[in-house]
Structure formats: structure tokens, C-alpha cells
Amino acid sequence: MEPIDLLIDARWIIPVEPDQRVLERHAIAVNNGRIVALLPTTEARARFAAREHLQRPNHVLIPGFVNAHTHAAMSLLRGVADDLPLEAWFGQRIWPLEQRWVSAEFVRDGSELAYAEMLLAGITCVADWYFYPEESAQVAAQMHLRACIGAPIADAPAPWSRGADDYLSRGLALHDEWLDHPLITTALGPHSPYLVSDATFERIRIYADELDAMVMIHLHESQAEIAQSIAVHGVRPIERLRRLGLLSPRLIGVHFVQADGADIAMAAQAGMSLVHCPESNLKLGNGVAPIAAMLDAGLNVALGTDGAASNNDLDLMGEMRLAALLAKGSSRDPTVVNAATALRMATLNGGRALGLDSEIGSLVPGKWADMCCVDLDNPATLPVYSPLAQLVYAASRAQVSDVWVAGKHLVMDGQLTRFDPQRLRQHAARWSERIAALIERVA
Amino acid sequence: MEPIDLLIDARWIIPVEPDQRVLERHAIAVNNGRIVALLPTTEARARFAAREHLQRPNHVLIPGFVNAHTHAAMSLLRGVADDLPLEAWFGQRIWPLEQRWVSAEFVRDGSELAYAEMLLAGITCVADWYFYPEESAQVAAQMHLRACIGAPIADAPAPWSRGADDYLSRGLALHDEWLDHPLITTALGPHSPYLVSDATFERIRIYADELDAMVMIHLHESQAEIAQSIAVHGVRPIERLRRLGLLSPRLIGVHFVQADGADIAMAAQAGMSLVHCPESNLKLGNGVAPIAAMLDAGLNVALGTDGAASNNDLDLMGEMRLAALLAKGSSRDPTVVNAATALRMATLNGGRALGLDSEIGSLVPGKWADMCCVDLDNPATLPVYSPLAQLVYAASRAQVSDVWVAGKHLVMDGQLTRFDPQRLRQHAARWSERIAALIERVA
């Protein structure tokens, strides 16, 4: 008998690779945080002697969700600015509140709250991108959540930085600090085409090439962004980035709502990834990204929640369902973005966007055991003809029973195992008192 | 001290009427199933001696949700037909399965499963419309769920009926049977313009006028429906109904995705109600109903889940959020359908569509105590700046802690109080075995 750390018998396992595969009455074997094997339950019992052997008889076991775009600490600004015009949302609410309140403490507390929400929702990896990224990285590592931490870069000063030079040196320091950490990776994060100059983009390109670093950018989010780029630079933002040498498989474009055929072809040619944030795009009135066309062009499309100030939840299962529904509705074709494609976008495509697809995103021997169980024994998901359809079209994050990151059991019976929720309540209450006073002043 | 049945202290109460009102640290007093008063907690304690006094210190208390369109028993077909073209969805999956399996027993078991799912999601009133409506009515009454039960009507025979005469006489019998029941009302339900002849519509109009009965119809759901009507009748479906004298405040048009300015004006002029089913409309590839324009025209727009074979959950909170997001995204205006409007669509507008707005849909003294509590003490809904925004944009149905219909406590701590979930599991398992065999044959 082969000794291992963990064996889980699940009613169903959907490994994501190969596509459409649903295994019934299989087990997954885990050792030293990595997947050893997927095999029929009876064979698993004969082969492995597991220190921990779990039964999940009504559950579907899947790779953990990858939230490929969020601003975690903005959880503390959840619900401060709804139903407002974009300019008022940012100029009268979000930006004044950020200038007044964002600090290392704010980012620690807000990241903790957001990471707790995400772990409970089956998210095992997050691309997080906000001021004070060194704080977010610390919190993620402490909570044992896998994270790609983006260092924001812009030309203008902000709560965390005095300007482009300062942003860049802080981003490089972050990169050096977390090199070779098993859970934390980093990325350079130029905010958007409209907040970053050509000169700064050129420096980002040089550093990214030297360090082989990921680069994340908000790209083609709104019509105003496109119009501004054409007015100032004479070309659409993606063409400007191409001329600046930024397009590459290491580039992650977030949103890509305003994308025509030429934009999509250019992104596909570069082999870059796009992150679709459907709830945020709808809620801010930006529209619907043409993901059916993007997938047809061979683009890697991942999913993100965006921050809680524009969503307002951090629920990747919700984004997964909405992505599938919106693609069908906007193309008038119910066959596009089927359940398997939606699940792959929410897992493996996210891993690929972050340069981690050889390590996470599917249940394949050798990858990290980043995974979650969803309990389908619920009136909302009975009967089960297709666990894949139930997962994508009917189940909710409240049905996530277990979550593991690198084999560590972080959520059990729908509860965090290593974290006192009372602490989150206290922190949230403290911040809401401080911030509510200011909202009333600016409202 | 005034003796009453029930007093609930809630951290927040959103009564829906008046619009935008959020009461803090108020209580609601209930007696004989009806609301007696809403008042500050301290005053309530001085005035009422309640047999039952509940504390909900982290909760928002709201009117129960009204699901203004579903086919409850189709819960047993959840997930049998996803990602298929519309013709295959209906012709190769849904219709063959219905012809083979739909029976009084199927409808009893499927309705029970769906009603359990809906009660747990805070839905206190449902417009349900399927074959064997007498079975659904019985199940709803037994479970103490408020329901408007539609009797289906079409010209062609179906599992429940031999044709138009038979449908009509069964519909009238249903109407007579449930007259004056405190929870159950009924409606005539001509399936759609394309399955009902002018002659049958004329008889429906006569009966509806005589009985003052509600009429529900699938209306302007797909482009194909519009094209068929123009080809056969020379006019769009709503104009055909107008000529047949069917348009009235008693008419409930379901879907209304394909609605131009003239259609909307005609519906508004008639004072009819529309039911928006955004998830179903997207999932079947029909598109997005123009609800911002419908609301601007003064139309009463309610929300529905549609059946579980085209959604696939029965979650009105999900429809409420999606309705708000889609309206913003499709109109490119984040200010349309604000949180208060979305909540009113999900409650009071539903009551009005079903002719019940003097009895339910808002927390107003004299109305039935149909209500639910949502627990906001959850990482996903902290901090709370605006309970209304948290409810609409961040909370999920899993946070519904309590549900009452006419003052009866049907869900407590997120569990059904009068129902054994084991029974649902057994029934669902039995049906899924029978049906799965047939799916494999037709697949």
C-alpha cells in the first residue's frame, strides 16, 4: 500500500481536463499538497493507505475557482456607490474615499474579508491588484490562498505611491520579495491605457521582459477609454500597446468589453489572455464583452469578479453562470459557451492567464491539489442528470462544502477552518463606522 | 398591552412601500396572519404583548418574493436539456419527456420539490402554470405557500387534456374549486399566441370577463413567435390579442423580450402586467427584454424564474439582481433600475401582476404577513452601508433565514419547518432513474 496524505471519494469528479469528462464514484489521491492520482474508488482503496480518508457521497469535486481579476480590499467599500453615473461613482465616491482611507491597515483588513468570502465560495487562486500590494500578499500567504498580486502602476500619485518612479520601484521590490514562494506570484499592473504614459509603458515592457513578469491592465473597458485613446494617440488602446511592444502571452487584458474583430484578432495573434468580468461590466453600464467571438478566435478567456465596489460580490460561480447566459443571450444562440466551457473559463483558463496552468486549474496528477467540493444534495440541485449542468446552471456558492489549497483543508462543512469570522465582523464594523460618516458628507 | 401572535425585532426593515424607505431597529407586529404595525422596537415593546417575540439582530426583513412565472413541476427536468438549439431543447428533449412522464404523480412530486426550493429562497407567492394544475394547487395549499395556479390552455392535446374544450372545462373547474381559498387563486393560461386559435382566445375572453379571472400568456418571447404571427395573422401577437379583446389589467404577458416602442405603448395603454424572466431569456438565446423602456412607459414589470428546465434554478433574488444588471448594461446607463426598483419588481409588482397587491407585496398594516428575513452577517455582505444595496447586489438566497406566509413560520434558520427534506430526495431520485434512461435513448 502506498502511503499518502489524503484520499477523497467523491460521487462525481470533474477534472476539467479532458474537456467534458465527468468521473463517477472516483477518488482523488493527494500527497505533499499535489495530486497523485484520480482513479475508481475501489481501486484507490486497494492502492493507497491515506492518513485522511474523506467521503463526499453527494458532492462534485472540481478544481478550485480562479478569480482572475479583483481588487480585494475594496470589499470595505461594498455598497457605498450603487446606481450612480460612472463619473459620480468614481469621482464623488470611490476616489475621495480611497484618498481619505486607503492605508496598509485598510488593505490588510479589506483583503482578509475578501479572501474569506472567496475561500468560502470555492476560489483557491486570485489575481488581486490594489494599493499596498505587499499587505495583500502577506494576508494571502497567511490565509494559505494562492494569489497573483499585481503592483499598481500609474503616472499620477495615489495613496500608496508618489508617481511612476515610485510605483515601479515598489513593484520591483514586491517581485523580488515573493520570488519562489509556493503560493504567491506577482505581476506588474499598469492601471489602464489612459492613466499610463508611453514612457512608463516602455519601462514596464523592459522590466517585464527582463524578469519574465506577468503584466495586467484594464483594457477596452468603456467607450470613453477608446475615444480618449483615439483622440490623444490616434489609435485604439490595444494598437497603442502593440506599438509599444506590450502585447505578449504574459499580458492579461481585463474587461475587453469594447472589442471589435480587429481588436480580437490582434489579441489572439499576441497569445495574450483576457479576463471577462460580466457583472461589473453590466453594473457600471459598460455592456457585454463579445466572448463567443473571443473564444472562436482561440483567445484564452478567464473570469473575474472585479472589486466589490462594482459587483458587489466576489462569487466566481455567479460570474461563470452569467458568462454562459450572457454569451447565449447576446449571440441569440443557446449552444455557445456550454457548461464545460464555462467551467474551464472559471478554472483552467484563469490558471493559464496567470501563467500557472502547468500547476493549477485542472485535476491532473502532478498539479497542486487546489480543489473544492460542491454539495448537490439540495432542493435547488435535484435531481442530478448532469453534475456539470447542475454546477454551472443551478448550484450556488453556498453549496461549496470543502476547499483545499495545495492540499490544505481551508473550508470544511462550509466553514473556514483556520480563521475566526468574529475578527472579520469586528474589522468590518470598525471601517464601516469610519467610512459611513464620510459617505454622508460626500453624498 | 395589546395581545398579538408575533413580534419581530429586525435590525432593518424594508417595507417596499414607500419606495426607498429603510427602517432601522424597528419591529413588525403580526396577528391572525396579517400585519398590524411597523414601529420602532422600543415602542413595540411598550405596546404589544406577543405570544412569540423574535430577535433578528443582523437581518433585513422584507416582503416575501413573488415569483410571477414558473412551471414548478419541471424541477424534475432540471438539467436534462442544456446548451441545445431551441428546437432540439423542446422537440428532442422537453416534449418527448413530458409526453412520456407527465402525470398527476409527476406534478405532485415536482411541485413539492420546486416549492421547497422556492420557500427556502424567500419566495412566498408563486404564479405556477403547468399540466395537472389541480395537483399543484393541492401541494401549494398543503405546504402553505401562496400561489396563483394557471390552468394551461392550447388547441392541441397534451398529457393533461384532449384539446381546447377539455382544457377550458378543466380550467373552469379549477377556478370553481379554489374560489375564496385564503392562499390559492387561479388563472386561465392560454400557452402562447402560436398554440392558441382565435376561436379559443374568444372563449377565454368571455370566461375571463364573466369570472373576472386573471389570464397569463407567454408573449413576444422569441423572434420566431413574432415572425409566425405576422405570417399567419398579418400582425404582431400583442396587436392580435388587442383585436381579440384580450388586453386588460387582468392580462399577464410573460417574457416580452421582442418588444418595440409600439408594443410597449399598447401594453401600457391596456394596463396589463409583464413578467420579466431574464435568466431564461438569456439561456434559451432569446435576448434581453427592454425593461428600462417598459418601466419608463409606466408598465407594471414583475419578475419570474420560468421553469427549471430553462433556468435552471428557482431563485428570484438571482433574477432581481440580474434584472438590475442587465438593464444597466443593455442601456449603457448604471442609474437605471436602482436597487429599490429591483426589489419592488421582485415583490410588489409581482403582487400587482397577480391581482393581489392589496393583500401582499409590501409590509403595510392590513396586508398578509408574507415576509422573509435575510441575514447580512456574512463575509459576502459586510460591511453594511446600505442594506438595500446589500440585498440586491450582494446577498444570496442562502442567506434567507426565515420565511413566513400569512404569519406562519415556514423557514427558520434556513430550514423548512413543516417538511422532511428526505422525502424530496427520495422522490427526486426515483424520477431521475426513470427519466435518465429515456434521456440516454433520445440523446
Q: For A27-81, what is each residue's pLDDT tens digit?
A: 999 999 999 999 999 999 999 999 999 999 999 999 999 999 999 999 999 999 9
Position B442 pLDDT exceeds 60: no
Q: What percent of chain A has pLDDT over 70?
A: 99
Measured N-to-C along each axis, helices B133-143 and B164-177 cross at an angle, to the nearest 10 degrees, of: 20
- The answer to whether ipTM exceeds 0.85 is yes
Q: What percent of chain A has pLDDT over 90?
A: 94
Across A426-438, average pLDDT: 89
Same CATH fold, A65-353 and A2-63+370-412? no
Asked if B83 and A286 come within 8 Å (Cβ–Cβ), the reply is no
Interface of A with B in 278-297 (CB under 8 A): 279, 281-288
A383 to chain B: which residues are within 8 Å by CB?
Answer: 76, 78-79, 428-429, 431-432, 435
- Taking only the tens place, the pLDDT of each residue in A159-183 is 999 999 999 999 999 999 999 999 9
- Taking only the tens place, the pLDDT of each residue in B106-143 is 999 999 999 999 999 999 999 999 999 999 999 999 99
Superfamily of structural domain A65-353: Metal-dependent hydrolases (3.20.20.140)
User: Which pTM was predicted?
Assistant: 0.97
Confidence of residue A441 (pLDDT cuts 50, 70, 90): low
Nearest to B333 among A285, A329, A339 (CB): A285
Q: Which of B112, B117, B282 to mutate to test the interface with A (most CBs of A within 10 A)?
A: B282
Across B249-269, average pLDDT: 98
Confidence of residue A347 (pLDDT cuts 50, 70, 90): very high
**Residue B383 preceded by cis peptide, ω within 30:** yes
Asked if B283 and A328 come within 8 Å (Cβ–Cβ), the reply is yes
Position A294 pLDDT exceeds 90: yes
- Taking only the tens place, the pLDDT of each residue in B189-217 is 999 999 999 999 999 999 999 999 999 99
Cα torsion for B158, B160, B165, B169, to the nearest 10°? Answer: -160
DSSP letter for B83, please.
S
B423 or A410: which carries more pLDDT confidence?
Answer: A410
What pLDDT is recorded for position B1? 93
What pLDDT is recorded for position A363? 98
| B90, amino acid identity | F
Asked if B328 and A396 come within 8 Å (Cβ–Cβ), the reply is no
- Rounded to 5°, the CA angle A264-A262-A276 comes to 25
What pLDDT is recorded for position A179? 95
What pLDDT is recorded for position A318? 98
- Taking only the tens place, the pLDDT of each residue in A125-140 is 999 999 999 999 999 9
What pLDDT is recorded for position A442? 52
What pLDDT is recorded for position A385? 93
d(CA A367, CA A389): 25
What pLDDT is recorded for position A440? 67
What value does the mean pLDDT of chain B take? 96
Cα torsion for A30, A33, A35, A41, to the nearest 10°? Answer: 20
Measured N-to-C along each axis, helices A104-120 and A133-143 cross at an angle, to the nearest 10 degrees, of: 40
- Rounded to 5°, the CA angle B359-B360-B365 comes to 70
The three cell numbers of residue B73 are 413541476
Confidence of residue B440 (pLDDT cuts 50, 70, 90): low
Contact between A182 and A141 (Cβ < 8 Å): no
d(CA A278, CA B352): 32
**Fold (CATH) for B2-63+370-412:** Urease, subunit C; domain 1 (2.30.40)
What pLDDT is recorded for position A407? 98
What value does the mean pLDDT of chain A take? 96
A139 touching B, CB under 8 A? no
What pLDDT is recorded for position A421? 84
- Taking only the tens place, the pLDDT of each residue in A348-361 is 999 999 999 999 99
A392 or B419: which carries more pLDDT confidence?
Answer: A392
What pLDDT is recorded for position A419? 85
What pLDDT is recorded for position B436? 86
Nearest to B79 among A78, A113, A389 (CB): A389
Residue extents of the structural domains in chain B: 2-63+370-412, 65-353
Residue of B273, B295, B256, B253 whose CA lies nearest to B357: B273
Position B332 pLDDT exceeds 90: yes
Confidence of residue B55 (pLDDT cuts 50, 70, 90): very high
